[in-house]
């Protein structure tokens, strides 16, 4: 499977018309009227509606597309060759998930001997690379999935590393980005000791059993709150079959019963692919019945969603109300 090339369709390249003053002035007039916005000097894009007006998953997809526009604009105006995108920019290009906003900075990889510095929204990483650690992206290059994860892990971006690597470890991952932990460990072994300990911990922490980015981010936040990391996708049998639960803690100090945790994403009760032909109301009733069965099996139960993951104090409150207590120093 080849990487989908960059999409230049929304970009307007004024520098290509620099020999035609009328064309450049036309761009400037459109910009003055609020029809175009500048991504880089000489690269413009039609002004787009605010992301806040876009609903649900479409907002995430559109925010990624806008960031890809910015990455492409940097590639088109970069005066060094080859242009190699890395770190969070590589995540966007490869289609690996993140839970943070993409932002306005673009990551590029330069040879270790390069004198270039980070400026004007371009973050330069002068760590060098091997030919097998990059792959073509149209006229540019991007770090491979394994190198991308390794770079994020070394940088100390624990959340982004785990969310992305969990996705790449899943059996359902696209073949282009599917990885094993040993793939990442091999890349880490090639580039010295800087950040290696934290990188190895992040890789070991990753778990392909996490079903989605919300579960991955929850697990990272739970760890950062100082709590015991739960087991994942634990199967519970009952008279009519079985349930797999997102998170499970066994008995521990302050926990009279095992605790089941469930991450409820925004689409669980509204998206057709999750509803399976049910109405939202029927899905809620089915989930309530499932919870009742699990409680009757002598389990406590806690639920949370994106708001609590993004505001760890709220997730901490839910876990404490369920009897879960920190076992180590909090990191957030």
pTM here is 0.91
- Domain boundaries along the sequence of the chain: 78-208, 214-321
DSSP-derived secondary structure letter, 6: P
pLDDT the model gives residue 31: 80
User: Cα torsion at 304, 91, 149, 100 (round to 10°)?
Assistant: -30
57-73 tens-digit pLDDT: 899 999 999 999 999 99
Q: Kindly tell me the number of DSSP H helices and DSSP E strands found in the chain.
A: 12, 12
State how far the Cα of 105 lies from the Cα of 72, in Å rounded to an integer: 12
pLDDT the model gives residue 27: 78
State how far the Cα of 287 lies from the Cα of 268, in Å rounded to an integer: 10
pLDDT the model gives residue 19: 56
Using CB atoms within 10 A of its CB, is residue 52 exposed (0-12), middle (13-18) or buried (19+)?
A: exposed
Does 270 have pLDDT greater than 60? no
Dmax (CA) of the chain? 77
176-221 tens-digit pLDDT: 999 999 999 999 999 999 999 999 999 999 999 999 999 999 999 9
Does 253 have pLDDT greater than 80? no
Q: Are 204 and 140 in contact (CB under 8 A)?
A: no
């Amino acid at each position: 499977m080849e990487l989908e090339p960059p999409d230049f369709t929304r970009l307007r390249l004024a520098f290509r018309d620099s020999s035609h003053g009328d064309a450049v002035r036309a761009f400037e007039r459109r910009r003055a009227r609020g029809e175009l916005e500048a991504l880089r000097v000489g690269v413009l894009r039609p002004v787009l509606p605010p992301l806040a007006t876009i609903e649900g998953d479409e907002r995430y997809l559109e925010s990624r597309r806008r960031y890809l526009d910015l990455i492409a604009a940097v590639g088109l105006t970069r005066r060094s060759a080859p242009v190699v995108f890395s770190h969070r920019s590589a995540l966007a290009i490869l289609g690996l998930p993140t839970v943070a906003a993409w932002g306005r900075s673009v990551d590029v990889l330069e040879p270790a001997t390069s004198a270039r510095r980070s400026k004007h929204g371009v973050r330069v990483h002068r760590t060098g690379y091997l030919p097998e650690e990059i792959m073509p992206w149209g006229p540019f290059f991007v770090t491979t999935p394994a190198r991308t994860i390794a770079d994020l892990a070394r940088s100390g971006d624990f959340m982004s590393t785990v969310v992305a690597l969990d996705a790449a470890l899943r059996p359902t991952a696209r073949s282009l980005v599917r990885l094993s932990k040993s793939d990442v460990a091999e890349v880490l072994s090639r580039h010295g000791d800087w950040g290696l300990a934290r990188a190895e911990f992040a890789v070991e922490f990753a778990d392909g059993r996490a079903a989605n980015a919300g579960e991955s981010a929850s697990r990272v936040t739970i760890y950062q709150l100082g709590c015991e990391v739960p087991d994942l996708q634990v199967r519970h049998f009952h008279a009519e079959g079985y349930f797999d639960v997102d998170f499970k803690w066994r008995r521990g100090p302050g926990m009279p019963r095992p605790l089941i945790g469930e991450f409820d994403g925004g689409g669980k009760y509204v998206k057709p692919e999750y509803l399976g032909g049910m109405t939202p109301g029927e899905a809620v009733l089915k989930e309530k019945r499932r919870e009742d069965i699990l409680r009757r099996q002598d389990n406590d139960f806690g639920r949370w969603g994106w708001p609590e993951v993004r505001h760890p104090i709220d997730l901490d409150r839910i876990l404490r109300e369920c009897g879960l207590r920190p076992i180590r120093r909090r990191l957030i």
